[in-house]
Amino acid sequence: MCVSSVGYPHIIHGSRTDVVTWMFTSIFLHPKRVSLLLYWMVCSVVAAVFSLWQGSATEGDRSNTITRKSFHLVIVVVYIPGLIVDAEFLHLASVCAGAILLLLEAVRVHTVPPLGQHIDSSFKMFVDDKDEGRVILTHIYLLVGLSLPLWITNIRPINGALLPMYSGVISLGVGDTAASVGGVLFGQHKWPGSNKSLEGTVTCAISQALVLGCLTLTGVVSSPLSLPLVVAVVLSSLFEAFTLQVDNLVLPLLTYSLLCMT
């Protein structure tokens, strides 16, 4: 049968061995991908150690907003090198990571020994008010939101990634994190009809503009920093302040649309 994956136009016959061989050759025959994989493994270990430390520090209580948003920064240092070095490999890795998260959530919900209870206690520390049911989806929404710009982009650049492919990282990893931290630290004036602060929105916009500026000035992306990009950042920041939807899903899509139009 033919297994189609964007950027991986290989014909795979219907055996499990061929799939394993394809995965192995797609990764380990490319030094850059091996380096990325090792780098991501280090990031995963650091995140796991931080979770264990946070769990012992809070003794099972929910963590605060700044602690939860710190994982968004971990996502930034995971995704940006992947987008710069090999966007196609990041595409594949994000799909695999999504499958792993779904498996872990199933293990947690059904308390499958020996990991179910430990996963449950670790996850519950980082849930927010939107996770009120039995199933915790915030982390899955975050991965999907970050990866959607990759998954829906048909054009594959030879080197690096197109600016809209950074939409998830810019809006969630940078903007949403800055809005929450800025609101907690400096928030004094609330938007009408919202619990978000004006200071958080300003922090959100400035942080996204700075990251876009770094990406364009360093030549990581070819799009120049322009007024339409600044307008896109401002609109995305305002939407973050007023939306009642799952921001991990809708923010990247809005930012992606705005950056595509620029």
pLDDT at site 4: 39
d(CA 153, CA 253): 12
**Span 214-232, average pLDDT:** 87
In this structure, is the dihedral angle defined by the CA atoms of residues 210, 216, 217 and 219, taken in order, positive or negative? Answer: positive
Q: What is the pTM of this model?
A: 0.83
**HSE-CB of 27 using CA atoms within 13 angstroms:** 15
Across 18-55, b (16+ Cβ under 10 Å) vs e yields eeeebeeebeeeeeebeebeeebeeeeeeeeeebeebb
Cross-strand pairs, 156: none
Between 131 and 31, name the one with better pLDDT.
Answer: 31
**Span 171-184, average pLDDT:** 92
d(CA 258, CA 231): 9
d(CA 95, CA 5): 11
Question: Is the per-residue pLDDT at 25 higher than 80?
Answer: yes
**Do the beta carbons of residue 64 and residue 72 sit within 8 Å?**
no
Question: Is the per-residue pLDDT at 215 higher than 80?
Answer: yes
What pLDDT band is residue 143 in, cutting at 50, 70 and 90? very high
Q: What's the chain's Rg over C-alpha atoms? A: 19
152-168, pLDDT tens digit by residue?
987 666 556 789 999 99
- Kind and range of the H or E element at 101? helix 87-109
**Residues 6 or more apart from 116 whose CB is under 8 A from it?**
107, 108, 110
Cross-strand pairs, 190: 197
Cross-strand pairs, 197: 190
Question: Is the per-residue pLDDT at 13 higher than 60?
Answer: no
pLDDT at site 37: 94
C-alpha 94: how far from chain center:
9
What pLDDT band is residue 11 in, cutting at 50, 70 and 90? very low
The mean predicted confidence, pLDDT, of the chain is: 83
pLDDT at site 6: 44
Question: Is the per-residue pLDDT at 38 higher than 90?
Answer: yes
**DSSP string for 121-189:** HHHHTT--TT--SSS--HHHHHHHHHHHHHHT-----SSS--GGGGHHIIIIIIIIHHHHHHHHHH--S
d(CA 233, CA 254): 10
**Do the beta carbons of residue 249 and residue 172 sit within 8 Å?**
no
**Span 178-189, average pLDDT:** 90
